[in-house]
Structure 1
Amino acid sequence: MNRQERRRMGIKKKDPMVSIKQSDINAMKEDATTKGCRLAFQLMLVIPSMVIHDKFGSLMKKDGRLERFVDMCMEEYKCYEEGYVTLEDMAKILEDEAGIKIKGY
């Protein structure tokens, strides 16, 4: 875009050109992926915890059951994160033992 076109469009400054190394781009992608995964896991833990708290509160308030539920979820996530089990394995177990079919697996 030349100077005349920028004036016509009301653009006062040029956008600065920034050079970024491929390793910096890869690091940004890795960071964004990690943050996205953590956010997704938090959502998938907080939402069921809220449902249990709101809908089944009288059952879950006894003896700190909600806290134990969250701790158990964190233990399962840690097993997944460390590579002891895969999501496919857990989905298969749920289907076989509990009769719950998770779509996508």
Structure 2
Amino acid sequence: MNRQERRRMGIKRKDPMISIKRSDIERMKEEAAEKGCKMAFNLMLALPSMVIHDKFGELMKKDGRVERFVNLCMEQYRCYEEGYVGLEELAKLLKDEAGVEIKWGD
């Protein structure tokens, strides 16, 4: 795009060219992935918390039930983050002990 076309379109300046090292790109990818994972986990924690709050009040004492649920989920998540348990192991435990089968990607 030449200068005349940029003026016609109302563009005052060219977009600057930026050089980025490959290591910076990898770091940005890791940060974005970590942020996305945390956001997804918070969303997946918020949804069941609301279900418990709205629908299953008769199953637990009302006072503090959502906070207890969130704290228990966070405790499990910390165990996962620190490498004490993996997703496959959790799925096997749920199937063996609770009869709940988690299907990955189906």
TM-score normalized by the length of structure 2? 0.82
Q: Following the alignment from structure 1 to structure 2, what is the Cα–Cα distance between the partners of residues 39 and 63?
A: 27
Match of 1:72 in 2: 72
The residue number in structure 2 matching 1:84 is 84
- Give the SS at the match of 2:78: helix
Distance change in 2, residues 1:96/1:6 (3 Å): same
Give the superposition deviation at 1:99: 1.5
Per-residue CA deviation, residues 67-88 of structure 1 (Å, 9 max, x unaligned), is 2111111110010000000011
* Identical columns (%): 73
* AA matched with 2:71: D
For residues 11 and 97 of structure 1, the distance between their equivalents in structure 2, rounded to whole angstroms, comes to 63
Higher helix share: 1
Compute the RMSD of aligned alpha carbons. Answer: 2.0
Greater mean deviation of Cα atoms: 92-101 or 39-48: 92-101
Instruction: Mark the CA change 1:7 to 1:62 in structure 2 (over 3 Å): closer, same or farther.
Output: closer
How do 1:1-105 and structure 2 match up within 5 A? 1-3=1-3, 6=6, 11-104=11-104
Partner Cα separation in structure 2 for residue 56 and residue 77 of structure 1: 23
Q: Please, what TM-score do these two structures have when normalized by structure 1?
A: 0.83
| Structure 1: tracts of 5 or more residues without a match | none
Corresponding pairs, count: 105
* Structure 1 contact 79–85 (Cα < 8 Å) conserved: yes
